[in-house]
Structure 1
């Protein structure tokens, strides 16, 4: 069952890449594994899905210990409290949800003590929704500039959770907005940002057409989930 679900999603990613004139290798499929039991992750790993994203620190730590024997590329994709940073830095390759300077300070401090440079994505509130985290679109340039002073933190791209729309095509403007923000940062600061983390089960094909390099797929892979 796991291999079938993975193949279906993989086929759709390949079709979206072809439609957009992109190489399949340009898009990372991340299994959004909140509430997914370790046994199921193990099953999907055996089918060839190696990158997973967790939303809650305590849940992630339990899974990390239980799945230590697998070479999983773990990402943290949820809201991150500053006092939880120390628990995950040695365990994740990428944090998707940097949304405030106090969090940047803590990540930088903890990364420095570990002798590493932590890669992060800036979460952008592309829909200007009060219920969602993320930097406001108009603040992105100044926020990015302030992050340049932190030597143990490296911004490698942007992430967004756009407003939900029944028709995925109606989400396209938000993905386009994030891509243009990335391009603006690259131009303004003469840099290259490798990643756009955008698109989930409902709208990932449109996100790929607009330049997503990481798609965060949960329901399509793992089915509907309830609490842990």
Structure 2
């Protein structure tokens, strides 16, 4: 059984080292513990060890864990998985941040659902940096073209961008994709659109998060390095 309490300090140390190597403050990077397929008791162990953000890919699994664990001061839950439109109603207000909004249609539907609940939902827009047919997300051009329309929705708050680059065992091969996302966020900033913040970049996972941090990640989604191997 993986020792979560021992792994967490190691991951935080790696984050600190990667940030300092490029002159960034370690506290500018948030660790999201990916809890997909992790039992509630082991998630609780991670929270007891100091993990502050849980990232879930599957709605029903997340809801079961949130109920089992209950409200914990200082702990927040992010939704990081792919969302079907029919499930958007269920995620609004349950997660402090949704990372995976992948189309203008989804954003519009989420805005409507947030309006029904009289709240403003924080989101990230997912970019398909590798132009992979198997993954959702905006292309760079689609994102830039969509931003004026996205800015008109008042019940969402766009905090930044998210990406899942094409998988490779060589972490260095991810670097151009991370740079692309960072550059795209800077380009969106120049549009000066109201209600659009580009303060967050969610990129980097267990095999490549130090490189993502070097290229500007403010959120890294780490599962295996924290919880050990799980079913895919």
TM-score over 0.5 for the pair: yes
Cα separation, partners in 2 of 1:86 and 1:192, compared to 1, 3 Å? closer
Deviation (angstroms), 1:85: 1.6
Which residue of structure 2 aligns with residue 144 of structure 1?
A: 147
Q: Which runs of 4+ in 1 moved over 4 A?
A: none
Give the match's secondary structure for 1:193. strand
Which residue of structure 1 aligns with residue 51 of structure 2?
A: 49
Deviation (angstroms), 1:69: 3.4
C-alpha offsets along residues 122-173 of structure 1, whole Å, 9 cap, x if unaligned?
Answer: 0000000111111112211112221111110111100000011222111100
- CA distance, structure 1, for counterparts of residue 191 and residue 151 of structure 2: 13
1:20 paired to 2:25? no
Give the match's secondary structure for 2:220. strand
Pairing partner for 2:210 from 184, 205, 208: 205
Structure 1, unmatched stretches of 5+, are: none
Which residue of structure 1 aligns with residue 88 of structure 2?
A: 85
Give the match's secondary structure for 2:125. strand
- CA distance, structure 1, for counterparts of residue 107 and residue 47 of structure 2: 31
TM-score by length of 1: 0.96
C-alpha offsets along residues 57-110 of structure 1, whole Å, 9 cap, x if unaligned?
Answer: 111111111111323200000001111122221210100001112211221111
Computed over aligned residues only, the root mean square deviation of the Cα atoms, in angstroms, reads: 1.2
Which residue of structure 1 aligns with residue 129 of structure 2?
A: 126
Alignment of 1:42-121 (within 5 A): 42-71=44-73, 72-121=75-124
Q: How many residues align?
A: 227
Pairing partner for 2:177 from 144, 153, 174: 174
- CA distance, structure 2, for counterparts of residue 28 and residue 12 of structure 1: 12
Deviation (angstroms), 1:189: 2.4
Structure 2, unmatched stretches of 5+, are: none
TM-score by length of 2: 0.95
1:222 paired to 2:227? yes
- CA distance, structure 1, for counterparts of residue 113 and residue 42 of structure 2: 32
